Amino acid sequence: MTDRAPNSPGRPTVTRRDALGGLLAAVPMEAVAHPMRGWHAVAEDVRAQMRWAWHAYAERCFGQDQIKPVSGAGEAFFFPKGRPLGLSIVEALDTLYLMGLDDELQSGVRWVCDTLDFDIDGEVQVFETSIRLVGGLLSGWCATREKKLLALARDLTDRLSPAFDKSPSGMPYRFVNLKTGAVRDPVSFPAEIGTYLPEWGTLSRAVGERRYYDLPKRAVTALFERRSKIDLVADTINIETGAWQSRRASIGPPCDSYFEYLWDGWQLFGDRDLKEWYDVHARAIAKHQAVQVDGRLWFPQVDFETGAILDHHQSELAAFYAGLLGQGGDMARGESYLKSWADVQARFQVLPEGFDCLRFAPDRVTNALRPEFADSCLNLFLLRPDDRWREYARVHFEAMKATSRAPFGFSGIADITTRPMKQDDSCPGYWWSEQMKYYWLLFSDTPRFDYQINYLSTEGNVLLGSK
């Protein structure tokens, strides 16, 4: 049974903003006041890095999905041989707004409104398209109230919907053709099945159509119902037959944001089913996956039916779970888990993509400019403002500047164990939406953000709390 709080789909709770032109003149930085000048100096540096990277992107390849920050060329994310969708612009919109980079925001909004058109005979991955583009357009709309952004988000969501509509179980197919609605690939993963409700529910509220909430709710219901007797899910499932294709349970990818969006759906929409399901999984994870190694908290992969440990690999992406633990009420484990990752950061300067917690050594030496550590710093800070989280994030930011800054932006690292670290010439779209925003919100005390009532999606998109 669903028991929704007053802020259920259909009732907008975000404050109405003025039209874009009006808000662009707003809030000079001098209006920001805080006794800790030191943190504000870090914030200014964050903003300066963002502005510099934006102009490099704008001059070299504006409208391309991504910039290659070492060589300065553009790079496709969605259609290698087809039309770019300006992914980096869409991801950056609300970050630019929160930072008061208003000229840059205006040029981004103009490009999106004049150029983006999703009537493309090409196939996209439903999950990535939803968290990045639908979420980016919606958070841009929340920040600016530019109606075209909402219209584009709705059009794109309609084009993704066949992935849900055509599924016998309600769990989405992984790929859909934006023009024809043809779907492909029924073998999917919890994160790709359960990471839609905050974006689609926000759309549902904004346009007053229930269907955008019901489709992802049905998907997540079908997944939760297939949990094991010990309340864990495995990491691969056939969405047509409902049969599990693996026995491996993990808090990292490809499961991570399934757990995150159970909590988030409760937080945003007051949907009690989702809170209950979050709690069921959180209890099972604490019981079967949490281990102490040399005094540090980690979460190895386990068999989803027996709880037997399968491996001690820790994905860097799982660092998001520290913040989620705090949000879900387990602040002690959240703090402890973030401390584990802070120890890795202190030892290796930059977090590796993968880490063996038994050996306390990287088992994947790349780093794709990952934001999850900073994400947890922000989430814990929002729950309990404490300079500890700011200091962890400041170290993360300084390490990024020292190792990832390239001629035309910030780059992922090919091997974090070499000195100097070798850059990989890629800047994922999420960099514009995630860590730069997390740093900014941690250090700036910006009046453009409601530090009490807010919501950031798995991609860092602010769907509630832009002021």
C-beta of 222 vs 317, nearer to ligand DMJ: 317
Q: Is 458 in the site for ligand DMJ (CB under 6 A)?
A: yes
| Smallest distance from ligand DMJ to CB 436, Å | 13
130-169 mask for ligand DMJ (x: CB under 6 A)?
-x--------------------------------------
Measure the CA–CA gap between 73 and 150, rounded to whole angstroms. Answer: 30
199 binds ligand DMJ (CB under 6 A): no
From the list 49, 459, 463, 467, which residue makes contact with ligand DMJ (rule: CB under 6 A)? 459
Instruction: Give the residue with the Cβ less far from ligand DMJ, 104 or 316.
Output: 316
Q: Which residue has 């504006």 as its token pair?
A: 62
Taking the complex as a whole, the smallest distance from the CB of residue 370 to ligand DMJ amounts, in Å, to 5
> According to CB under 6 A, which residues from 27 to 56 bind ligand DMJ?
none
If the CB atoms of residues 169 and 195 are measured against ligand DMJ, the closer one turns out to be 195
Give the Cα separation of 307 and 310 in Å (integer).
9
Give the burial class of 44: count Cβ atoms within 10 A of its Cβ; 0-12 exposed, 13-18 middle, 19 or more buried. Answer: middle
CB of 35 to ligand DMJ, least distance (A): 32
- Kindly state the smallest distance separating residue 256's Cβ from ligand DMJ, in Å: 6
Nearer to ligand DMJ, 133 or 222 (CB): 133
- For ligand DMJ, the closer of residues 231 and 316 by Cβ is 316
* Residue 317: CB minimum distance to ligand DMJ, A: 5
The C-alpha atoms of residue 63 and residue 392 are separated, in whole angstroms, by 34
Instruction: Pick the binder of ligand DMJ from 212, 298, 430, 455 (CB under 6 A).
Output: 430
The only residue of 42, 317, 378, 380 in contact with ligand DMJ, by rule CB under 6 A: 317
Q: Which residues 116-135 are close enough to bind ligand DMJ by CB under 6 A?
A: 131
Q: How far apart are CA 316 and CA 322, in angstroms?
A: 12
The percent of the chain in helix, strand and coil, each rounded to the nearest 5, is 50, 10, 40
User: Residues 50-53: contacts with CB within 8 Å, 24+ apart?
Assistant: 50/95, 50/96, 50/99, 50/101, 50/436, 50/440, 51/99, 51/101, 51/104, 53/409, 53/410, 53/427
Q: Which residue is nearest to ligand DMJ (CB)?
A: 458
Q: How far is the CB of 459 from ligand DMJ (least distance, A)?
A: 5
Q: And the tokens for 41?
A: 């100096």
Query: Which of 170, 194, 371, 465 contacts ligand DMJ by CB under 6 A?
Result: 371
Q: Which is nearer to ligand DMJ, 432 or 449 (CB)?
A: 432
* Least distance (Å) between residue 282 CB and ligand DMJ: 18
Cβ of residue 369: shortest distance to ligand DMJ, in angstroms?
Answer: 8
Which of positions 243-272 make contact with ligand DMJ (CB under 6 A)? 257
Binding mask of the shown chain, residues 389 to 418, with x at each position contacting ligand DMJ by CB under 6 A: ------------------------------
- Residue list 219-248, contact with ligand DMJ (CB under 6 A): none
Give 237 or 324: the residue with its C-beta nearer to ligand DMJ. 324
CA of residue 415 relative to chain centroid, distance = 24
Reduce the DSSP state of residue 296 to 3 states and report it.
Answer: strand
Output 352 or 371, the one with its CB closest to ligand DMJ: 371
The DSSP string of 194-215 is S--HHHHHHHHHHHT-THHHHH
Residue owning tokens 């880490």: 355
Amino acid letter for position 37: R
Shortest Å distance, C-beta 221 to ligand DMJ: 21
Choice between 100 and 412, CB closer to ligand DMJ: 412
In our burial notation (b when 16+ CB lie closer than 10 A, e otherwise), range 215-246 reads bbbbbbbbbbeebbeebbbbbbbebeeeebeb
Are 79 and 122 in contact, with CB atoms under 8 Å apart?
A: yes
Whether the CB-CB separation of 222 and 154 falls below 8 Å is answered with no
Residue whose entry in the numeric block shows the structure tokens 């690292």: 413
Closest CA to 426 of 74, 47, 19, 30: 74
Determine the size of the site formed for ligand DMJ (CB under 6 A): 8
CA-nearest of 178, 194, 336, 335 to 273 is 194
Q: How far is the CB of 202 from ligand DMJ (least distance, A)?
A: 17
Q: Which residues bind ligand DMJ (CB under 6 A)?
A: 131, 257, 317, 370-371, 430, 458-459
